């Protein structure tokens, strides 16, 4: 959390399953709008490569690695700015699997029985007379819990997803609710954001562009092969000079997804005027090439420098873990996974023994003034206040730190100082413990 961001930005989080390379439909429907959304002010975005999820579908290590590299390079090439967003690889954040277990323990098995992907597998087995769970891994069964951990780990408010994922978000909500009910208000209940307006791009044959129809145009197809693919888009048999319908024309729809409104209007007119299909295809090729060529260049450069991608992901993981580590510590404590830390059994009920968590301490000095300090979970001094004239003033300052986190420090300048050597992120992490969504 940078101190420049507002106290409680809306947090958006999206996972990208690392299978295969993206096509134009993925670009128009998901990558482009997500990258645009990540640039909006007042939002904090988390984008991650869901490689733990990829393991559920793929047991080829080389493919898992290649896919991760390609998907990461695609999003970066499309303009995702790792300085602005937190862009990381799921498996670099081990707290996610740790949280998965805590959530597993509050999730009804019966709920998971109803998950679409699992149910579809069972239905298929039953239809073919097999054992219902034939070839179903526990990974597939647990998919929604892992996804819940992805979301709840970062206290995401909004999760932009396709319709097929709504059920998963609802399950994550239920997990959060159940956890909070049992252990106190620790987790944020997420909401799905369905992008209704997202255009479904048609593929080469006019059906929805999808790998399962084998009708895709891969996003980073090189120039000449791209021209050939576009030449293969299905059209009707109207001759040059004959007016053409834009309605139902895959070529027109794809053009529209890339062109400005005036450009689209111009093509509409050209259709009415009887443009030859060959010429329309050339227009489409040039329009796509104009948008894709610079990205393709960045994509190739990134693929040729995997160490650079790796460094970006490592930096992203570090950012992500600044959120995940303190929350996981809090959750472990909440469920009772606590240090016994040399405490005599008899002392367990004392206040000191219970606070393996950051804490504010208020006190009065001989000068008659009222002070406070912030200690971290190991009782290390993080913040020290100056003397306040009344206990109420001290309490107000504490309250603003608890409510707003590090953001409140600016207003308290001269009244509160961080200990030498304490980093902003350590301070952030400790203060986050008191945030309203926390305990
Ligand atoms: N299941 C999502 C999909 O197939 C990918 C995903 C994994 C995800 N974890 C997530 C999406 C968390 C949103 C939030 O598209």
Domains, the chain: 10-199+305-334 (3.40.50.620), 220-299 (1.10.240.10), 340-432 (3.30.160.160)
Q: Which helix (H) or strand (E) segment is 393 a member of?
A: helix 391-404
Pseudo-torsion of CA 175, 181, 184, 186, nearest 10°?
20
Whether the pLDDT of residue 351 is over 80: the answer is: no
Among 367, 377, 252, 291, which residue's Cα sits nearest to residue 326?
Answer: 377
Instruction: Write the DSSP symbol of residue 91.
Output: G
Question: Which atom of ligand 1 lies at the shortest distance from residue 150's CA?
Answer: 12
Whether the CB of 147 sits within 6 Å of ligand 1: yes
Mean pLDDT of 29-57: 92
The predicted pLDDT at position 302 comes to 97
Mutate to test the pocket of ligand 1, among 165, 169, 188, 198 (most ligand atoms within 8 A of CB): 165
User: Could you tell me if the CB of 171 is within 6 A of ligand 1?
Assistant: no
Identify the top-confidence range among 37-46, 232-241, 393-402. 232-241
Lowest mean pLDDT across 194-203, 239-248, 281-290 = 194-203
Top mutation candidate among 14, 19, 29, 50 for ligand 1, by most atoms within 8 Å of CB? 50
* pLDDT given at position 283: 97
Q: What is the mean pLDDT of residues 27-35?
A: 89
Q: Report the share of the chain in percent with pLDDT over 90.
A: 73
DSSP characters over 161-222? E-GGGHHHHHHHHHHHHHHHHHH-S-SPPPEEEE-TTPPPPB-TTSSBP-GGGT---BTT--
Say what the pTM is: 0.75
For residue 154, CA distances in Å to 101, 178, 322, 328, 439 come to 16, 17, 10, 10, 15
Kindly report the protein residue whose alpha carbon is nearest to atom 7 of ligand 1. Answer: 15
Q: Report how far apart the first and last C-alpha atoms of the chain are (Å, whole number).
A: 19
How close is the Cα of 353 to the center of ligand 1, in Å?
40
Dist. CA 253 → ligand 1 center (Å): 27
Quick check: helix, strand or coil at residue 136? coil
Q: What mean pLDDT is reported for the chain?
A: 91
Angstrom distance (rounded) from CA 112 to CA 172: 11
Residue nearest to atom 11 of ligand 1 (CA): 15
15 CA distance to ligand 1 middle (Å): 4
């Amino acid at each position: 959390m940078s101190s420049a961001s507002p106290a409680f930005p809306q947090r958006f989080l999206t996972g990208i399953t690392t299978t295969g390379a993206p096509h134009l439909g993925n670009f128009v429907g998901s990558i482009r709008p997500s990258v645009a959304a990540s640039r909006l002010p007042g939002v904090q975005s988390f984008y991650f490569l869901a490689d733990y999820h990829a393991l559920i579908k793929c047991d080829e290590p080389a493919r898992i690695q290649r896919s991760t590299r390609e998907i990461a390079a695609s999003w970066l090439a499309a303009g995702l700015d790792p300085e602005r967003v937190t862009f990381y690889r799921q498996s670099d954040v081990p707290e996610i699997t740790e949280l998965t277990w805590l959530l597993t323990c509050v999730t009804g098995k019966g709920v998971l029985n109803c998950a679409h992907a699992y149910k579809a597998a069972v239905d298929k087995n039953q239809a073919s007379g097999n054992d219902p769970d034939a070839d179903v891994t526990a990974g597939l069964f647990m998919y929604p819990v892992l996804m819940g951990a992805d979301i709840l780990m970062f206290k995401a408010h909004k999760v932009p997803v396709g319709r097929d994922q709504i059920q998963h978000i609802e399950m994550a909500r239920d997990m959060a609710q159940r956890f909070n009910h049992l252990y106190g208000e620790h987790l944020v209940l997420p909401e799905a954001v369905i992008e209704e307006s997202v255009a479904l791009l048609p593929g080469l044959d006019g059906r929805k562009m999808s790998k399962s129809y084998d009708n895709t145009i891969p996003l980073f197809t090189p120039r000449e092969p791209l021209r050939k693919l576009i030449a293969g888009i299905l059209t009707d048999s109207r001759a040059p000079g004959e007016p053409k319908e834009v309605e139902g024309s895959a070529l027109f729809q794809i053009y529209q997804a890339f062109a400005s409104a005036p450009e689209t209007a111009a093509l509409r007119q050209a259709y009415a005027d009887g443009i030859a299909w060959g010429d329309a295809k050339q227009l489409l090729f040039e329009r796509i090439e104009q948008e894709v060529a610079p990205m393709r260049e960045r994509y190739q450069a990134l693929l040729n420098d995997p160490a650079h991608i790796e460094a970006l992901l490592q930096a992203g993981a570090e950012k992500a873990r600044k959120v995940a580590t303190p929350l996981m510590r809090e959750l472990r404590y909440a469920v009772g996974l606590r240090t016994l830390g040399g405490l005599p059994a008899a002392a367990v009920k004392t206040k000191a023994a219970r606070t393996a968590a950051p804490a504010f301490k208020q006190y009065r000095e001989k000068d008659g003034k009222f002070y406070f300090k912030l200690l971290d979970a190991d009782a290390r001094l993080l913040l020290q206040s100056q003397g306040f004239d009344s206990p109420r003033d001290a309490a107000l300052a504490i309250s603003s730190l608890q409510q707003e986190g590090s953001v409140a420090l600016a207003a308290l300048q001269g009244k509160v100082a961080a200990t030498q050597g304490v980093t902003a992120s350590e301070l952030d992490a400790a203060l986050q413990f008191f945030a309203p969504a926390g305990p």
